[in-house]
C-alpha cells in the first residue's frame, strides 16, 4: 500500500512540476520575464480571440465572465464593470494563479513571480 501511495505522490509531483514549467513558459512569452501581474493576465484573457465572454446584468450592475482554454491552460476572469473580481489559471488541473479581489485587492499590480518549483524534489 505504501508503495502505491509513494508512486501516486511521485506522479502528482512530476505533473505539478510540468504544470509550473508550462505556466512559466507562457508568462515569459507574454512579458519577457517569469513574472506577471493580475492586470496583465486579465488583459491577456480579454484580448484572446478564443475567449468566451458572457455578460450579465445583476441588480443593475454589469458583470462579465470570461473563459479561455488554450493548450493545457484554463483561464477564468470575472469582472464587475471594469473591476477585476476574480482570476484563476489552471494548468493540468493545478491552480497556478488564484486571485480574489475581496482577499487580494492590494496585489492587483504587484508582479507574481512563478517559482522554479513549488515542491521539493
User: Collapsing DSSP states into helix, strand and coil, what is residue 43?
Assistant: helix
The C-alpha cell at 35 is: 513574472
CA angle 115, 89, 28 (to 5 degrees): 50
pLDDT score at 18: 64
* pLDDT, tens digit (0-9, with 9 covering 90-100), for 36-47: 788 888 988 999
pLDDT score at 11: 62
- 26 pLDDT tier (thresholds 50, 70, 90): low
- 102 pLDDT tier (thresholds 50, 70, 90): confident
3 Cβ contact list (under 8 Å, min separation 6): none
Is it the case that residue 81 has pLDDT exceeding 80?
yes
How high does pLDDT run on average in the chain? 76
Q: State the sign of the Cα–Cα–Cα–Cα dihedral 39, 42, 47, 48.
A: positive
Amino acid at each position: 500500500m505504501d508503495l502505491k501511495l509513494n508512486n501516486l505522490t511521485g506522479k502528482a509531483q512530476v505533473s505539478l512540476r510540468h504544470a509550473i514549467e508550462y505556466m512559466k513558459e507562457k508568462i515569459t512569452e507574454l512579458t519577457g520575464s517569469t513574472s506577471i501581474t493580475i492586470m496583465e493576465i486579465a488583459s491577456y484573457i480579454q484580448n484572446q480571440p478564443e475567449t468566451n465572454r458572457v455578460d450579465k446584468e445583476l441588480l443593475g450592475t454589469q458583470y462579465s465572465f470570461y473563459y479561455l482554454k488554450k493548450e493545457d491552460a484554463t483561464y477564468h476572469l470575472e469582472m464587475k464593470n471594469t473591476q477585476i473580481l476574480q482570476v484563476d489559471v489552471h494548468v493540468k488541473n493545478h491552480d497556478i494563479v488564484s486571485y480574489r479581489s475581496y482577499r487580494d485587492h492590494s496585489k492587483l499590480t504587484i508582479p507574481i513571480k512563478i517559482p522554479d518549483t513549488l515542491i521539493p524534489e
